[in-house]
Structure 1
Amino acid sequence: MTDSSTATAPPMLTGGHVLVDLSVLIAEDLPCYWSTHQPFQHKTWNWFENRSEPSGCVINRSGPYATRWMAIDEHTGTHLDSPSHFIPPEGSGLPHAGPAGAVSIDRVPLELPMGPAGVVDVSALVGTVDEPGRSPIIDPRTVTEWEEEHGRFQPGDVCLFRTGWDVYYQRGEAGAAYLHDIVVTGRRPAWPAPEVDTVELLLERGVRCVGIDAPSMGPAHGDRGQAVHVRGLSEGAVYVECLTGLDRLPQRGAFFCFLPLNVERATGAPGRAVAWLPAG
């Protein structure tokens, strides 16, 4: 990201480690929500005093303090997809129904979206597809070639795909390049994303958390986005989407952690993604 108002916080030293924030900033003028879903809203409920401005009023309803309310989609900002996001409940008779359909955010094991991180840099794929609305595909060979140099993914590892797409996470009209101009206006190609075979490879390795610095884990074109979500989430895996700052992590050596809001029956929830790096 190049807009300093949306830049992630600088690394902090804690307990002999460097703590890196991998979460996007959420604001009304940032592309933090899916363009065809509930827009993010953040409004003042109570202010220290009554105040009238040309754009409206803020009211002191119950005392000299400030508080605001939010209208927010479950999949806003840096967020986690629970299995119930794409898997219907078992016995519902719906396509892809299964036991994973009962796993909402409040039932995702706390330790699942954390572990040693393997950062797979696929940023070179951006610009390799010219067709508007279409994603370059991260194929299984991309992962196996990375493993040849950095070691095979192990059970409990977290795979993070660094696409570099977070550079488009900008305020105002410039932010349309992040998502809106792909899924609404259809003006530009989409972010790189894994295909089903790539997800299957990671599942075989024992990976149960995959993250990406793009709006979605799935490709933007056709039904591939749904297929990628169904394949991973049906196995009880989780996806962390809309990460940022993955270029600040080594390809091996970081410990990743995402903690979602604990919302009952939620199909997803925003939260804070961080990584720990050994100091020095």
Structure 2
Amino acid sequence: MNTPALFDISPLVSAEAPIFPGDEPYALRWTARLGPDCPVNLSALTLSPHIGAHADAPLHYADGAASIDAVELDAYLGPCRVIHAIGCGPLIGIEQLRHAESGLPPRVLLRSCARADTVWNPAFSAFAPEALTWLAERGVRLVGIDTPSVDPADSKTLEAHQVLRRHDLRVLENLVLDAVPEGDYELIALPLKLAGACASPVRAVLRAL
């Protein structure tokens, strides 16, 4: 029996990983090292929970909303469709989604880049708010994107995030879909149970059906 192909759609988390200006970069330090008096290596981390592939919690864009430890996990696991919108420009609109409308599963990931950025690029593609509404009306419960945010980098109103809030959609950002053909997969991208946090890194993978 052939093992289904597994696509790792998570970027490397490192000190060089691109982050929003002012966000906390990844840093690792050693608190213990193997030696005559120590049987293990132990490290400690500091980082923004929005680094690399990550899941935003509703708390990120709404005071009093659920933190990532309180979010139900079922949206992050199950049938998923990857839709290509490469070269779509600043915003992914409904017109980039219509060709993949038939039989949409509850999870949709959008590939907007020919190659995911490895340095900070504020001119990334984001979602038009009406495109997220269109997906929610078709039963989608989770959306993902291969850029740092569903909203443009300079947005002060976060209209796309507010659509997520109104429709109770979950979201994944900073995915790497460079090697993933358009089509249907199984998504596995569980957030960590971080008490009170506004987001969590995920190790996001797609398994071919």
**TM-score after normalising by structure 2:** 0.90
Q: Is the 8 A contact 2:115 2:178 kept in 1?
A: no
Label 1:264 to 1:166 Cα distance change in 2 as closer, same or farther (>3 A): farther
Q: Is the 8 A contact 1:165 1:213 kept in 2?
A: no
Deviation at 1:114, TM superposition (A): 2.4
Counterpart in 2 of 1:264? Answer: 195
* 2:133 aligned with 1:200: yes
Counterpart in 2 of 1:45? Answer: 31
- The aligned length equals 209
Q: Residues 139-150 of structure 1 correspond to what in structure 2 (within 5 A)? A: 139-147=93-101
Counterpart in 1 of 2:183? Answer: 252
* 2:199 aligned with 1:275: no
Q: Is the 8 A contact 2:144 2:172 kept in 1?
A: yes
| Residues 9-64 of structure 1: per-residue CA shift (max 9 Å, x gap) | xxxxx973222211111111222x33211122111111224xxxxxxxxxx9x614
Counterpart in 1 of 2:53? Answer: 78
Match of 2:11 among 21, 24, 34: 24
* 2:124 aligned with 1:124: no
Read off the aligned partner of 1:236 and give its amino acid letter: D
Give me the whole-angstrom Cα distance separating, in 2, the residues matched to 1:234 and 1:265.
21
Counterpart in 2 of 1:228? Answer: 160
Counterpart in 2 of 1:240? Answer: 172
Give me the whole-angstrom Cα distance separating, in 1, the residues matched to 2:113 and 2:78.
22
Give me the whole-angstrom Cα distance separating, in 2, the residues matched to 1:85 and 1:77.
16
**TM-score after normalising by structure 1:** 0.69
- Structure with higher RCO (Cα < 8 A, 6+ apart): 2
Give me the whole-angstrom Cα distance separating, in 2, the residues matched to 1:15 and 1:270.
30
Larger helix fraction of residues: 1
| Residues 64-98 of structure 1: per-residue CA shift (max 9 Å, x gap) | 42111101112111100111110122xxxxxxxxx
Counterpart in 2 of 1:10? Answer: none
Deviation at 1:221, TM superposition (A): 3.4
Please state whether the residue corresponding to 2:62 is helix, strand or coil. coil
Give me the whole-angstrom Cα distance separating, in 2, the residues matched to 1:75 and 1:117.
22
Counterpart in 2 of 1:153? Answer: 104
Higher-Rg member (1/2): 1
Label 1:260 to 1:30 Cα distance change in 2 as closer, same or farther (>3 A): same
Q: Between the two proteins, what is the percent identity of the paired residues? A: 27
Please state whether the residue corresponding to 2:97 is helix, strand or coil. helix
Deviation at 1:165, TM superposition (A): 6.4
Please state whether the residue corresponding to 1:248 is helix, strand or coil. coil
Match of 1:35 among 21, 25, 35: 21
Regions of 4+ moved over 6 Å? none
* 2:107 aligned with 1:107: no
Read off the aligned partner of 2:166 and give its amino acid letter: S
Deviation at 1:158, TM superposition (A): 1.0
Which structure 2 residue ranges, 5 or more long, are not aligned?
A: none
Q: Is the 8 A contact 1:214 1:243 kept in 2?
A: yes
